[in-house]
């Protein structure tokens, strides 16, 4: 055993995810590359079991115990005092419990915010003009409550500094942004799709706030028929309901589903261009979408909203940009369809190379997070 292994500190990462979930930075960063520096245990939750389980280095906790997570894990023989760091992902109620027990067990606390979900719900209601004075007051006090919890943490890990500034400014806590990135172990070269059509793929939900129907409207106006769109979404039934509004392109759109990350990567690899167009509002314009990293893992270039955040990392040589406007989307789709496969491949590889060379590489991010924690 090496000296490094003898002196490894321990880190517990409490996710907000169900067991068997492949999600974002959890697998490649926390349950992968970070293990070179720490002994890491990851906590998942389950709706379907009533017993605590250990699976390798993972713990599975019945969901009903999440608000009393410290006491529950202690009762199951997990020695929380053995951990140097306890991180919580997204859930303020779990964070509250971990903070309340910090002095008892002696760990440092980190809070990982992948996406401001409560704010997204509020923005969705606001977009429909469904907010009341009570809603606005509730949103304000929820934000203040979360800021209060944040101020007690040792480290805050938002998806981006811009997101922190927009939603959680002046929390007073040390910040270490952890954006979505690429897993070097998963990258593949660009592979041309079969046939003469340009294959687009959109990964994600089709909810009101994301306004994906604006993209569908744009496709109905494209003059060329040399294209196909794959929509990979977990809610296939809802996507099919949405597509009933667009019968003129129904034969040009396939609705597919990936049950795990491996399946998703195969679906992306089968296409030529990824779509990550989102409204240019703070909830989306303060962080580069995680789906962009999935696309560039397979070296396929991405069509994204032309805003300062996306431009801060990508350029016209490695990405496709347009305004979140039907006419502008139509124009960019038509130009993209006319691109040669060589042009598309060159752009995809350029973006992949750029991300791997930057912090958007989970192997590099693991080392930088280790250095950050050492200095706490």
Domain co-membership, 246 together with 329: yes
Position 97 in a domain: yes
Domain that holds residue 141: 3-179+361-374
Please name the residue that has the structure tokens 């991180």: 87
Q: Are residues 92 and 170 in the same domain?
A: yes
Instruction: Provide the token pair at 359.
Output: 């912090």
pLDDT tens for 187-209 read: 999 998 888 899 999 999 888 88
The CATH number of the domain where 350 resides is what?
3.40.50.2000
- CA-based nearest residue to 256, from 243, 245, 272: 243
Closest listed residue to residue 284, CA positions, set 140, 152, 162: 162
What tens digit of pLDDT does each residue of 294-349 get? 999 999 999 999 999 999 999 999 999 999 999 999 999 999 999 999 999 999 99
For 160: left if phi > 0, alpha if psi spans -120 to 50, otherwise beta; the answer is beta
| Residue ranges with strand state E in the chain | 9-18, 38-46, 53-55, 58-62, 85-89, 108-113, 155-158, 198-203, 227-232, 253-256, 273-276, 302-305, 320-322
Q: Are residue 273 and residue 125 in the same domain, yes or no?
A: no
pLDDT value of position 282: 83
What integer best gives the mean pLDDT of the chain? 90
Q: Residues 235-261: what's their mean pLDDT?
A: 94
> Do 18 and 134 fall within a single domain?
yes
User: What is the model's pTM?
Assistant: 0.86
If asked whether residues 367 and 345 sit together in one domain, one would say: no
| Number of domains the chain contains | 2
**Residue 263 CB neighbours (<10 A):** 14
- 246 and 338 part of one domain: yes
Tokens of 101: 């027990």
Residue 193, domain member (yes or no): no
Assess if residue 352 is contained within a domain.
yes
């Amino acid at each position: 055993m090496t000296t490094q292994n003898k002196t490894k500190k321990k880190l517990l990462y409490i996710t907000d995810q169900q067991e068997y979930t492949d999600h974002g930075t959890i697998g490649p960063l926390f349950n992968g590359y970070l293990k070179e520096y720490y002994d890491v245990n990851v906590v998942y939750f389950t709706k379907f079991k009533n017993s605590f389980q250990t699976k390798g280095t993972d713990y599975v906790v019945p969901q009903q115990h999440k608000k009393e997570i410290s006491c529950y894990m202690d009762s199951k023989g997990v020695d929380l005092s053995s951990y140097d760091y306890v991180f919580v992902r997204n859930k303020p109620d779990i964070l509250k419990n971990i903070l309340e027990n910090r002095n008892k067990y002696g760990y440092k606390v980190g809070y990982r915010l992948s996406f401001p979900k409560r704010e997204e719900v509020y923005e969705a209601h606001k977009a429909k003009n469904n907010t009341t004075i009570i809603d606005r007051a509730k949103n304000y006090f929820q934000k203040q409550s979360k800021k209060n919890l944040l101020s007690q943490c040792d480290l805050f890990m938002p998806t981006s500094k811009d997101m922190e500034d927009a939603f959680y400014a002046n929390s007073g806590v040390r910040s270490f942004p952890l954006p979505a990135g690429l897993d070097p172990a998963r990258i593949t070269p660009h592979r041309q799709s079969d046939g003469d059509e340009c294959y687009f793929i959109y990964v994600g939900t089709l909810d009101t706030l994301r306004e994906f129907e604006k993209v569908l409207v744009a496709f109905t106006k494209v003059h060329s028929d040399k294209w196909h769109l794959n929509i990979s979404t977990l809610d296939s039934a809802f996507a099919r309901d949405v597509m009933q509004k667009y019968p003129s392109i129904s034969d040009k759109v396939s609705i597919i589903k990936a049950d795990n990350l491996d399946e998703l990567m195969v679906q992306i690899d089968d296409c030529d261009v990824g779509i990550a167009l989102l409204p240019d509002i703070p909830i989306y314009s303060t962080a580069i979408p995680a789906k962009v990293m999935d696309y560039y893992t397979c070296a396929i270039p991405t069509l994204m909203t032309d805003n300062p955040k996306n431009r801060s990392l990508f350029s016209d040589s490695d990405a496709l940009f347009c305004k979140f406007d039907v006419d502008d989307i139509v124009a960019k789709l038509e130009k993209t369809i006319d691109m040669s496969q060589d042009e598309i491949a060159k752009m995809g590889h350029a973006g992949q190379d750029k991300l791997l060379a930057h912090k958007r590489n989970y192997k590099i991010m693991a080392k930088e997070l280790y250095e950050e924690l050492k200095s706490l």
